[in-house]
Chain A
Amino acid sequence: MKLPIQLIAGLVLTTIFSVAVAVSFIWTPHDVTILTIADKLQPPSEKYWLGTDHFGRDMLSMLMVGARTSIAVAIIAVGIGMGIGVPLGLMAAANRGGLLDEVTMRGNDLIFAFPSLVIAILITAVFGPSALNAILAIGIFNIPVFARVTRGAALSVWTLDYILAARTCGKRALRISVEHILPNIANLLIVQGTIQFSLGILAEAGLSYVGLGAQPPTPSWGRMLADAQTYIYSDARLAFLPGIAIVMMVLGLNLMGDGLRDLLDPRIRRER
């Protein structure tokens, strides 16, 4: 089977970042916790491949460790969204038209009215800024997304004959949901997961840019951009590098999502 070109491009980009993150745990070119003010704002050189920032920290190392923050926040946020949203969506679909369905959908509408930034603002106003806030804010915003996708897809599976067969065998709704519905909508959830993952990276960058996410000294791409703004007149490189990293990461995930959807959904493949 021929793999879609986007999938390959996406996989290459995501692999590069995953490897960079994995390597950052055992080795970075320089230690990002040590400030070498004497070497501040150095242009790229043999010692510092991408130059240094305003504290003399190596930019390449900062980007590698920053990727960790972005990816960790986005992965956990997707986990929260899936972990709560998918069971809710499955239950709502199993009780179609029932009280549980109604309550879930109304709850979804309610959360949809709170953009993740607004949730982050509320949490920060109460508990102060931290990376955990970003995770919670993005994660909470992901719940209705997954609940909706799950419910919609599950509803169409519920109408199929083999579900009727399973019901005639006396299987309960819960067992049918887990054993028959979930595996059949897994493709869709994986694709949605990729999309939410890339949205999470963007949201984390935005939140830490305005100071509602990871706090210094934890390096994060958004934080690096916020710091770079002060130096944009003198050294634009500081603003370019983290921005390009974000774009490449998000682009990679989006391409992978598109590619996966084309691969997993033959109907769409034929139409396009």
Chain B
Amino acid sequence: MIRFAASRLLSLTVSLLMASVVVFAVVEVIPGDPASYMLGLNAAPEAVEALRDELGLNGTLWARYFGWVTGMLTGDFGQSYTYRVPVSDLITQRLWVSLPLALFALLISTLIAFPVGLIAAARRGKPSDYAIMGITQLGIAVPNFWFAMLLVLVLAVKLHWFNAGGFPGWENGLLLGLKSLTLPAVALALPQASILARVMRSSLLETLTQDYIRTARAKGLTRAQALRRHALRNAMIPVLTIIGLQFSFLIAGAIIIENVFYLPGLGRLIFQGITQRDLVVVESVVMLLVFSVILITFLVDIAYAAVDPRLRSGR
């Protein structure tokens, strides 16, 4: 187990290093000089020179890359050019919106998908199974940002149950904050829940054909009992994989959804970064997003190996 964890940790580090090279290289290939790109065409030469100094652009390529990576490792992402504050402060501040949003959505989607997938599998071939399969098929096809707009239209504009957007901040109470994250989280969760429920169903159906289930039935358990006691745990492996994979979709989705609800999260930050040509912000947030995806993949791998010793050898 330790050897397995160590080898995954090594590949995590390699992935991160390669990702940092990619992000750095992309920003490097910007036609012309990043400093004049950020300041625009009419910038005074002195201002450009000052920014070049500030960004450390006068160093060699290697020195800059090395400085950037070691900076990130110590939590120093550099200064935001437009906000004039350390990027790490901006990120921490925005993370308090984006992370709860993603986790909230993950929670909702899991809470919906598990029972729904279970019911569909238990009632396979019956009308309720067909209904669930039909609804989830539709759920996958709905773009989450459009679903978000519909939620706003019905629950906020027509019924006034929720605010159409904005975030009051956690300091005004946990409940108020959660309330303003509810619609965005539901919108994010719907397509994920649909996929997850379908995976849950087919994974359960697959395990139900296994010999040990037949044995369980033979010793007198009903289909539902066999499902609950024996199939459920074994069917969890593919479901876990999908939850892990979905995290990267949740992050991407959150970036778009934040724009529908005007939430001050990482998504807003990155789009402001793009329009204001604040490359330091864009580069840092992208690196952070990539880091979280790689980290989640790593954790899922480790979680499997802990659950299922067969997965420890090879890949």
Q: How far is the CB of B18 from chain A (nearest CB, A)?
A: 5
Given contacts A205-B143, A255-B137, whether A229 and B286 have CB atoms under 8 Å apart is no
Residue-by-residue, is B247-263 near A (CB-CB < 8 Å gives 1, otherwise 0)?
A: 01101100110011000
A112 to B247, CA, bound (A): 12
Q: How far is the CB of A225 from chain B (nearest CB, A)?
A: 6
Pick the interface stretch among A25-33, A83-91, A120-128, A176-184.
A120-128
**Other 5 A-B pairs with CB < 8 A, given A209-B256, A251-B137:** A110-B18, A117-B256, A118-B252, A225-B146, A271-B205
Residues of B within 8 A of A (CB): 11, 14-15, 18-19, 22-23, 26-27, 29-30, 137-138, 140-143, 145-146, 149-150, 152-153, 157, 205, 209, 248-249, 251-252, 255-256, 259-260, 270-271, 273-274, 277, 279, 282, 286, 289-290, 293-294, 297
A204-252 contacts to B, CB under 8 A, are: 205-206, 209-211, 225, 228-229, 232-233, 236, 239, 242-243, 246-248, 250-251
Q: Which residues of B contact A254 (CB under 8 A)?
A: 137, 140-141
Q: Are B23 and A122 closer than 8 Å at their CB atoms?
A: yes
A-B residue pairs in contact (CB < 8 Å), sample of 21: A106-B11, A112-B248, A114-B22, A115-B289, A117-B256, A118-B286, A121-B270, A121-B286, A125-B27, A125-B274, A126-B27, A198-B141, A209-B256, A210-B255, A210-B271, A211-B271, A229-B149, A233-B157, A239-B149, A250-B141, A254-B141
* A114 to B30 CA separation, bound complex (whole angstroms): 19
Q: Does A109 contact B (CB under 8 A)?
A: yes
Complex interface: chain B residues within 8 A of A248 (CB): 141
Q: Which positions in A face B, CB cutoff 8 Å?
A: 106, 109-110, 112-118, 121-126, 198, 202, 205-206, 209-211, 225, 228-229, 232-233, 236, 239, 242-243, 246-248, 250-251, 254-255, 271
Contacts of A126 in B (CB 8 A): 26-27, 29-30
Say yes or no: B289 contacts A210, CB within 8 Å: no
Are B271 and A110 closer than 8 Å at their CB atoms?
no
Contact A246 B143 (CB under 8 A): yes
Complex formed: what's the CA distance from A205 to B145 in Å?
A: 9
Please tell me which one of the listed residues A121, A239, A243, A271 contacts residue B282 in the complex, with CB atoms under 8 A apart: A121
Asked if B145 contacts A225 (CB within 8 A), the reply is yes
In the complex, what distance in Å separates the CA atom of A118 from the CA atom of B251? 10
Question: How far is B23's CA from A250's CA once the two chains are assembled, in angstroms?
Answer: 32
Residues of B within 8 A of A255 (CB): 137
Q: What B residues does A271 contact at CB under 8 A?
A: 205, 209
A247 touches B138 (CB 8 A): yes
Q: Which 3 A-B pairs have the closest CB atoms?
A: A250-B141, A117-B252, A115-B252
Taking the nearest CB of chain A, how far is it from the CB of B74, in angstroms?
22
Instruction: List chain B residues, Cβ under 8 A from A106.
Output: 11, 14-15, 18
A195 to chain B, nearest CB (A): 10
Least distance between B76 CB and chain A CB atoms (Å): 21
